[in-house]
Structure 1
């Protein structure tokens, strides 16, 4: 065979091999540059395969404290969201496991710690953590969205009313409403858009809570500066209430921040009140304390709410929404562990005092309340409804301990 033909033949065979070898060398070099060596040892030394595996087997109670759920709940959640968050390995890098992603996201909600500490604990880069947090929030909410759902029919509303009537002695009540500021780090160039009257930046979480401390309606994202009537007045919640969200004759209870409506009862204002009015105010306060405790439990279980949330607007909304869904899921499926006795306020009817729940005694920076609204005079029918309930609570609907509680 001609020498030139031999060279051409073997050149054709060798060039693809050399190109492939060069490509692999370049990929390894890029991988070395992009990923710090200690992060490449994630599988051997990252928290997922070391301390959390040990806790899962040897100390399940500590595992539950770290992630706010027991092993069984974690495994159930992981199984159902893995198809949504697990990625395939590539030539460039090994994909982060769905288990590690879920653990990072839960740890972030539970502790509010920085991405830098999560990076060191799990050996996952801050850039990857920033990307996976909203991804996992979406996946969790997709699985748990039925746990954060407005009642769909009168029967479901009737169950809530029954709970307020039997447990909290307030017939006709279909939920307790309140709005809370969630502290955030303001987005770049936002000016004073999120700056509220208390001197920090926030978005508002407005919620209706049922008789069992579960969120049944949430409205997220109102800018913190919109106080004095703007937040509730411009919320979708108010629009829905005006359009008969509740069954006929049903109402919510709220504090003095809200307007008096036929669908929303609030306390009598002022200091020179009659005994009947004071009793009504006590009964309203007793029923609406449910929403205050729900917010307190949310902030104590998920301590991301105790410091400014540094994520973008969209991710912050996902964090709030998903935390509410997790709260409901754990409250309903793991009540003993998530909300043990003593967690929420209780009444001592013998002494006429309120025993504060442990969430109050943890000295946490809980979600601060929104400011009062400037409202017009309440409609005559709403005032009459309040007076009817004031008469009822001082007559046929009286409870034996109420005079002691207002004395």
Structure 2
């Protein structure tokens, strides 16, 4: 057998394997992406995303220039889709796979989207997060916060993170019960 002919046969075998692999590839399917503004009423929307529709709309307008895809190839995600994926992840703490399945995207895409959107939101922090300047400003913020939720000497909260506490008992014990039914403090 001619060694040159043997190499040619190996090349032909390789090409045949490539052709078989191409035939076995799973066809790409377009996944359904829901319009969350239309799909959910105001109450369910807030339960799913932890923000009201007007606030989400405002957020999309604010960061769409920072997160929009440069092209629409391969059915690129819209800024609204990206924001909904991120909000769903942050609101539920679900696994990337679960959020991706609900949103019609792969787990790796979900991860990239969440990173992109959270960085865009963080870049706006200087415009929205401000500490009170001076004693008078601090006192007015403290009074406003007290008027809202009856916590004295508090000037604000970040994501309203609750720290679980033992119930203080007495007449005001129910004032310390959070939405999950546990006594807590901010």
Conserved 8 A contact 1:105-1:137:
yes
Which residue number in structure 1 is paired with residue 103 of structure 2? 122
Residue of structure 1 in register with 2:82 after alignment:
101
1:104–1:352 Cα change, 3 Å: same
1:239-318 equivalence runs, <5 A: 294-296=160-162
Instruction: Tell me the SS of whatever aligns to 1:63.
Output: helix
How far residue 61 of structure 1 moved from its aligned partner, in angstroms, is 1.4
Within the alignment, does 1:135 sit opposite 2:116 as a pair?
yes
Q: Residues 129, 357 of structure 1: CA spacing in aligned structure 2 closer, same or farther, 3 A cutoff?
A: same
Backbone CA RMSD of aligned residues: 3.8
Instruction: Give the deviation of 1:105 after TM superposition.
Output: 0.2
Distance 2:99 2:151 in 1: 46
- Higher helix proportion, which one? 2
Partners in 2 of 1:89 and 1:64 — Cα distance? 31
8 Å CA contact retained: 1:85, 1:136: yes
Question: Structure 1 pair 360/123, CA: closer, same or farther in 2 (3 Å)?
Answer: closer
Task: Give me the whole-angstrom Cα distance separating, in 2, the residues matched to 1:86 and 1:69.
Answer: 21
User: Greater strand share, 1 or 2?
Assistant: 1
CA separation in 2, counterparts of 1:169 and 1:122? Answer: 39
Give the Å deviation of 1:80. Answer: 1.1
Give 1:76's aligned residue: 58
Contact 1:115/1:126 (CA < 8 Å) preserved in 2? yes
TM-superposed deviation, 1:165: 8.4
Q: Does the 8 Å contact 1:88/1:95 carry over to 2?
A: no
Deviation at 1:361, TM superposition (A): 1.0
Aligned partners of 1:296 and 1:360 also within 8 Å? no
Aligned to 1:235: none
TM-aligned CA deviation for residue 126 of structure 1:
1.2
In the TM superposition, what is the alpha-carbon distance from 1:85 to its structure 2 partner?
0.4
Structure 1 position 145, deviation (Å): 4.0
Report whether the alignment pairs 1:148 with 2:14.
Answer: no
| Cα separation, partners in 2 of 1:162 and 1:99, compared to 1, 3 Å | closer
Task: Calculate the TM-score normalised by the size of structure 1.
Answer: 0.33
Q: TM-score, normalised by structure 2?
A: 0.66
Structure of higher CA gyration radius: 1
Higher-RCO chain (CA-CA 8 Å, sequence separation at least 6):
1
Unaligned runs of 5+ in 1: 1-28, 176-209, 216-292, 300-346, 367-407
CA distance in 1, matches of 2:48, 2:99: 13
How much has 1:144 moved relative to structure 2? 4.8
Q: Deviations over 1:267-288 (max 9, x none)?
A: xxxxxxxxxxxxxxxxxxxxxx
Q: Tell me which residue corresponds to 1:63.
A: 45
* Equivalences, count: 158
Q: Which runs of 5+ in 2 are unaligned?
A: 1-21
Among 37, 40, 52, the alignment partner of 2:28 is 37
